[in-house]
Amino acid sequence: RVEGDLRREVQSNIRRLIDIGSVRGLRHKRNLPVRGQRTKTNARTRRGTKKTVAGRGQRRGMSKK
């Protein structure tokens, strides 16, 4: 098999998992680790870069003294 064929085969396998509604397919769809890794920490590569959340970090009203 050549590179293009393998890519197509892998994509069709993933699509099949999503279509049959398996847990693995769901994880693929949500861009989460599929093979049982922890996700509370250390899933950055799979999930992508951090999304900043408004209102987090140092409070606006408090000033340093």
Tell me whether residue 42 is in a domain.
no
| pLDDT tens-place string over residues 9-62 | 999 999 999 999 999 999 999 999 999 898 888 888 888 888 888 876 766 666
Q: Is residue 51 part of a domain?
A: no
Whether 13 is covered by a domain: the verdict is: yes
Q: What is the pLDDT of residue 60?
A: 64
Both structure tokens of 54: 């408004």
Entry pTM = 0.68
Task: State the Rg of the chain over Cα.
Answer: 19
Alpha-carbon gap, residue 29 to 48, rounded angstroms: 14
Domain count, the chain: 1
Residue 65 clears pLDDT 80, i.e. is over it? no
Whether residue 11 lies inside any domain: the answer is yes
Say how far apart CA 62 and CA 12 lie, in whole Å.
54
- For residue 13, give its domain range: 3-36
